[in-house]
Structure 1
């Protein structure tokens, strides 16, 4: 039966609306900030001294915000700890904290600074947003008084939170997020009693926000995407790079691909503790990124993104991560499997002894399959296929399933798994897959010099991570990084070692 004219018109109109949504874009900015740090002290400084240091950092951030706005950016993300740094005791950070109200208060600090307790940081951030007509995302400290009627109240009578704030282009506070998964050294902060899933609507999509270590856990990171359906994630971070799987640009771009969202990651820049790596990532790869261990310069990044990436024609298909790997026979049996450590995890490895071939390596429930062809194997370089299926227990606890093709540090197989930054071997092709017990798998490809490979690989619906046309640069690693959240320990046991 043919549809009636009104129905036909409605269908055409609905399609037009969807197409309009799908073509909507916005300009995103992130700023990697070389933070000006306070002197290390156990004794609290005066509030004036604390504000003076924060204003020095906000002077730099304001310059980046102005420049981003002049280049048409609609939103800018600045880093975790970007206003006052780190290495604080609980007492020493107190002068840097402000009471941050619930955004439901409908507050514009820039125009009404005295409505709540003294809030010079919030006032200044609000004015930066308002004066430049841009959403500003920043990380600061929140304090909340409590008393003995609250059984969880700390002995000093206050909660202290690592907090992200978002101000809209009018300067209004529209989001406040308290970090849930504190990293092991963050003893100056408390975590909220319940994880907060913070979202807010913009003219260019639904946004969610979380901080640094949160990305490795189900709450709130996965909840925001899988249940609340955000389009874009905002991610202030102070990320210390760990090769071969957990450099900032590598893991954050992989998370965006695996979760199918835009991801705006602003890192601090402090090379002495391996902090660098910011980026603007889409579900089909990095739009722009920055990784620089050679100097102490900050960097502003700007790129265009789809407002609703799930509706974009370029949106990657849903992946059945174990489909291919479960359907194939094990490739040639290995007589030479061996063990090695990657970031304290005991992997099972097998060496790529020939210039091309098919290999399988297994550990527990995970079997990893690799088909490959090298574009001229270097005699002094060794590559392995590795598998890990287990609980990671150093610097946090979380359950992993990982399949990896990676370069060893030297020809000595005992070095396989140690950090490597350069390589000389290119691959004409690789195809990596695994029998994952999870839908949460993050595909990573890292080239020599710690560089990403946007547009040079794809994930097929059956779970294979494949090179498209060979690698344009020598390969450090191609990895499928899987997370089995249901095997994690309960919070907060998992966030400390």
Structure 2
């Protein structure tokens, strides 16, 4: 591990990051560990410069809702980087560690999330050995193409600030059962088109944006657009963790004026469940649901990293 997490400072790490790869008849593999996934070295280098097909990823990953649960972020990283990720997480529910998976660029092939027991779980799935060459892999994305064509409205009614993992997000409440919303912070504007199956009185959703340097338990620059459920109808709770929801969306389309090409698309359903095959990213940067009404939504997020601003 090159990027040590809080409390790991009794370990040493190499002065220069070492990219570890090996070749097999079924593709080129790369290895990095845990917190490395949030940084450029060695994770992005292995994919973009060394062209690995599959990442082997051992981790002891604590789950942080709404954006950084293991299954959610690891599957999003596979999709955003267009590689396979084999993520083997420690299972220790007392410290929020659960969630392993076999992730392809088009979505999770299989995964396990279990906070109920301490039982381990063996995961087996088939993957394309060379995902970049596979017709199943989505095309490369120009993340801001669509968002830059949307008129930036001057309306900022219903805007308020909320905190997620110590970062100040700008939020707008989804007050209607459907429509479109824009919310901006600094250089990042997030656009959402949506239609709820029904607008419930007991659940509140917001569109949130953050464009800034995250400095808690590590320092990394984020650009995030997110549709998320608030834990209660009290807007001051928006951004706090919530694990269950009842509101389904007939359609959603989320995009942002990202200044980075490293964006990781996340969709998390009620019960902290993934949605493989139920959403896609278009070449113009829109994260949309596919054809069917969604299951109840916790969050639909575009998690962007501006590595050069760290």
- Structure 2 length as normaliser, TM-score? 0.99
* Alpha-carbon distance in 2 for matches of 1:231, 1:373: 37
Give how far 1:323 is off. 0.5
Which position in structure 2 is the counterpart of 1:356? 178
Which position in structure 1 is the counterpart of 2:169? 347
- 1:304 is paired with a residue of what secondary structure? coil
Higher helix share: 1
Which position in structure 2 is the counterpart of 1:442? 264
Q: How many residues align?
A: 310
* Alpha-carbon distance in 2 for matches of 1:232, 1:263: 6
Q: Give the one of 391, 406, 418 matched to 2:240.
A: 418
1:215 aligns with 2:215: no
User: In the alignment, is the contact (CA less than 8 A) between 2:80 and 2:265 conserved in 1?
Assistant: yes
Give how far 1:294 is off. 0.5
**Structure possessing the higher radius of gyration over alpha carbons:** 1
RMSD of aligned residue pairs (Cα, Å): 0.8
Q: Give the one of 147, 158, 171 matched to 1:336.
A: 158
Q: Give the one of 135, 140, 147 matched to 1:318.
A: 140
Task: Return the structure number with greater relative CO, CA threshold 8 A, min gap 6.
Answer: 2
Unaligned runs of 5+ in 2: none
* Alpha-carbon distance in 1 for matches of 2:38, 2:57: 12
* Alpha-carbon distance in 2 for matches of 1:184, 1:251: 19
User: In the alignment, is the contact (CA less than 8 A) between 1:331 and 1:369 conserved in 2?
Assistant: no
User: In the alignment, is the contact (CA less than 8 A) between 1:331 and 1:359 conserved in 2?
Assistant: no
Q: Structure 2 matches for 1:115-126, cutoff 5 A?
A: none
Give how far 1:331 is off. 5.0
Tell me: CA distance 1:451–1:337, structure 2 relative to 1, closer, same or farther (3 Å). same
* Alpha-carbon distance in 1 for matches of 2:300, 2:154: 21
User: Which deviations, in whole Å up to 9, do the C-alpha atoms of 1:231-280 show, x marking residues without a partner?
Assistant: 00000000000000000000000000000000000000000100000000
Give how far 1:315 is off. 1.4
1:254 aligns with 2:76: yes
Q: Give the one of 361, 367, 382 matched to 2:189.
A: 367
Give how far 1:471 is off. 3.9
Which position in structure 1 is the counterpart of 2:308? 486
Q: Give the one of 232, 256, 261 matched to 2:54.
A: 232
User: Which deviations, in whole Å up to 9, do the C-alpha atoms of 1:437-469 show, x marking residues without a partner?
Assistant: 000000000000000000000100000000112
Higher strand share: 2
User: In the alignment, is the contact (CA less than 8 A) between 1:332 and 1:360 conserved in 2?
Assistant: no
Give how far 1:187 is off. 2.4
Which position in structure 2 is the counterpart of 1:294? 116
Give how far 1:336 is off. 1.8
Which position in structure 1 is the counterpart of 2:9? 187
Tell me: CA distance 1:442–1:414, structure 2 relative to 1, closer, same or farther (3 Å). same
Give how far 1:334 is off. 2.5
Give how far 1:431 is off. 0.2
Give how far 1:330 is off. 2.2
Q: Structure 2 matches for 1:398-413, cutoff 5 A?
A: 398-413=220-235
User: In the alignment, is the contact (CA less than 8 A) between 2:162 and 2:168 conserved in 1?
Assistant: yes
* Alpha-carbon distance in 2 for matches of 1:272, 1:255: 26
* Alpha-carbon distance in 2 for matches of 1:349, 1:444: 18
- 2:125 is paired with a residue of what secondary structure? strand
* Alpha-carbon distance in 2 for matches of 1:317, 1:473: 26
User: Which deviations, in whole Å up to 9, do the C-alpha atoms of 1:159-183 show, x marking residues without a partner?
Assistant: xxxxxxxxxxxxxxxxxxxx10011
Give how far 1:332 is off. 7.2
User: Which deviations, in whole Å up to 9, do the C-alpha atoms of 1:25-54 show, x marking residues without a partner?
Assistant: xxxxxxxxxxxxxxxxxxxxxxxxxxxxxx
Give how far 1:184 is off. 1.2
User: In the alignment, is the contact (CA less than 8 A) between 1:456 and 1:470 conserved in 2?
Assistant: yes
User: In the alignment, is the contact (CA less than 8 A) between 1:331 and 1:358 conserved in 2?
Assistant: no
